[in-house]
Every structure is written in structure tokens, then in C-alpha cells.
């Protein structure tokens, strides 16, 4: 499948800031399930800085924008050829061991309810079946309701209120999987719009590590494993560390953010 992406992020400041520094994870992952045909990231008024591939296999690119500046536009455009690998992350090179993803964060700390859900893995006939059961249980426990949570909502809070978005589904699955002793991580990327329940072109899901198979993606928001409709960008312990764009500004001024993302299938 050929997928095209047009992703624009605009930052506006009510008072000009002296400068902005950003770190991007906006390059599609290199693995057997996707091949970049063309890809471009531009930052209006920005200068590209150092870049490196981290231990998780993600390409990290630095940018700086000199001030005074009141608005910054980050634009991502490109085409990726994708293949359905049933969620298995085949051919992905990384140096970080799976055990690095056993550590909980503030967003993925497991409470008693999440620990109880983790028993779907520990009590299963095999680990893979338990992972599927756990993802299905998260889907049932947290209804997809846009706007029902914030960026700071934790996995435990989303589970308790029974509503959330893809970030909350991923955090809850990660928290319960880690409670069961499985390495788990947050994945950011894109989903072809209009093909899932969540209908979020900028999307997120989780990957769980199963010995003998490797990393496997699970998307509780859409009750499936990532397939050819998905483009994988990067991963982290939670949404904050896996964010496609992270940055800081120098100087006062409140920041507002506007994002538009379009992911479409292109005829081959």
C-alpha cells in the first residue's frame, strides 16, 4: 500500500520569543513493513542541527529557530510503501535491550486495577494469546471518546473513568503488560484516516515484547494489530518520550498549538 502524508504543526506565541530549539522523531522507522519513497521535513525559518539514530532505532533530528519569532510551522510530507506484517516489527535494528522497557513512568504506573488486568497475560496458556486478550480487555474498559482526557491523563486515571483516546489506550496496555513482566513501549505514527474507530491520522499504539517473536504492535483503540494502514515513526517509554516533536522556547509568551494531518492511500 502507498500512503501519502501531509502533516503540519504550527506553534504560535502571544509575545515573540527569543528562539526555539526542537528535537524531531519524524522520520518513518526502517523495518520490513515500510519503505520510504520520499520524505521531507521543513521548519519555517529553522536551521537543521545535529542528528543521530538512538538506541531504539529512531532517527532524531535537531532544529533551531532564531528569534524574535511569533510563529513556527513544521511540515512533514512524503510517501511510504507499507506491508501488512500482522503487527510484528520484523527487520527493525535497535541496540536497546527489551528489558529497558520494563520501567514504569508517571503516565504508565500500574494501580490495582491495571495489575488485575495483567493477570490476563500471566494466567494465559501462552504469552501471545495473553497479549491479545489484554489488548481486547483494554479496548472494552476504555471507550474511545475524543476530548475526554488530556495529555497529562495517566493510564490508571483513564481506566478508572472508562474513557480516553489512543494515547490512553496505549498507556493502559503498556502499564498492564509491564505489570505482567513484559517489556512494553509507546509508538507514535500515522493511520490512514477514516479506516478505524479512532479516525486519528496522527496516531499512537503500543508494542509488547514476546520472547521468540520480538516486538508486536497492538492498537486497542481500533481493536487490531498495526497493518498496512499504519506508518510507524518512533517509540518511547510513554507518549512524552515518543513524541514526534519536543522542544523548548527562550523568553516569555504563552504557546498555542494547531495540528493538521492527512494520510491518504495512493493508487499504485
Q: What is the pLDDT of residues 108-162, one digit of tens each?
A: 999 999 999 999 999 998 999 999 999 999 999 999 999 999 999 999 999 999 9
Cα-flanking dihedrals φ and ψ of residue 116, to 5°?
-60, -40
> Looking at residues 8-13, what average pLDDT do you find?
95
pLDDT for 85-109, tens place per residue? 999 999 999 999 999 999 999 999 9
Which sign does the torsion angle of CA 250, 251, 254, 259 carry? negative
Give the pLDDT of residue 241: 96
Residue 198 has pLDDT above 60, yes or no: no
Peptide bond connecting 68 to the previous residue in cis, omega within 30 degrees of 0: yes
Instruction: Report the alpha-carbon distance of residue 238 to residue 74 in Å, rounded.
Output: 22
Structural domains of the chain, with CATH: 2-81+244-266 (2.60.40.2250), 83-236 (3.10.620.30)
Q: What is the pTM of this model?
A: 0.95
> Looking at residues 65-78, what average pLDDT do you find?
94
> Looking at residues 33-61, what average pLDDT do you find?
97
For residues 69 and 20, is the Cβ–Cβ distance under 8 A? yes
- Please report which confidence band the pLDDT of residue 203 belongs to, taking 50, 70 and 90 as the band edges: very high
In three-state form (DSSP H/G/I as H, E/B as E, the rest C), the secondary structure along the chain is CEEEEEEEEEEEEEEEEEEEEEEECCCCCCECCEEEEEEEEEECCEEEEEEEECCCCCEEEEEEEEEEEEEEEEEEEEEEEECCCCCECCCCCCCCCHHHHHCCCHHHCCCHHHHHHHHHHHCCCCHHHHHHHHHHHHHHHCEECCCCCCCCCCHHHHHHHCEECHHHHHHHHHHHHHHCCCCEEEEEEEECCCCCCCCCCEEEEEEEEECCCEEEEEEHHHCECCCCCEEEEEEECCCCCCCCEEEEEECCCCEEEEEEEEEEEECC
- Please report which confidence band the pLDDT of residue 201 belongs to, taking 50, 70 and 90 as the band edges: confident
Residue 12 has pLDDT above 70, yes or no: yes
Question: Which comes out higher in pLDDT, residue 254 or 190?
Answer: 190
End-to-end CA distance of the chain: 8
Give the pLDDT of residue 195: 56
Amino acid at each position: 500500500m502507498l500512503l501519502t502524508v501531509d502533516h503540519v504543526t504550527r506553534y504560535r506565541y502571544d509575545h515573540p520569543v527569543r528562539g526555539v530549539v526542537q528535537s524531531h522523531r519524524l522520520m518513518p522507522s526502517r523495518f520490513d513493513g515500510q519503505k520510504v519513497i520520499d520524505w521531507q521535513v521543513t521548519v519555517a525559518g529553522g536551521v537543521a542541527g545535529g542528528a543521530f539514530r538512538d538506541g531504539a532505532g529512531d532517527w532524531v533530528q535537531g532544529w533551531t529557530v532564531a528569534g524574535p519569532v511569533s510563529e513556527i510551522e513544521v511540515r512533514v510530507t512524503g510517501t511510504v510503501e507499507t506491508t501488512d506484517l500482522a503487527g510484528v516489527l520484523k527487520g527493525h535494528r535497535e541496540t536497546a535491550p527489551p528489558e529497558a522497557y520494563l520501567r514504569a513512568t508517571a503516565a504508565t504506573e500500574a494501580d490495582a486495577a491495571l495489575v488485575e488486568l495483567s493477570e490476563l497475560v500471566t494466567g494465559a496458556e501462552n504469552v501471545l494469546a495473553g497479549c491479545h486478550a489484554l489488548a481486547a480487555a483494554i479496548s472494552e474498559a476504555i471507550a474511545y471518546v475524543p476530548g475526554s482526557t488530556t495529555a497529562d491523563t495517566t493510564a490508571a486515571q483513564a481506566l478508572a473513568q472508562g474513557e480516553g483516546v489512543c494515547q490512553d489506550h496505549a498507556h493502559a496496555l503498556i502499564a498492564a503488560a509491564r505489570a505482567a513482566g513484559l517489556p512494553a513501549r509507546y509508538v507514535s505514527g500515522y493511520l490512514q484516516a477514516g479506516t478505524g474507530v479512532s479516525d486519528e491520522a496522527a496516531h499512537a499504539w503500543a508494542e509488547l515484547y514476546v520472547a521468540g517473536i520480538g516486538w508486536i504492535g497492538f492498537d486497542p483503540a481500533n481493536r487490531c494489530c498495526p497493518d498496512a494502514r499504519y506508518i510507524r515513526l518512533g517509540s518511547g517509554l510513554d507518549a512524552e518520550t515518543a513524541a514526534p516533536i519536543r522542544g523548548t522556547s527562550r523568553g516569555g509568551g504563552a504557546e498555542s498549538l494547531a495540528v493538521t494531518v492527512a494520510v491518504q492511500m495512493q493508487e499504485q
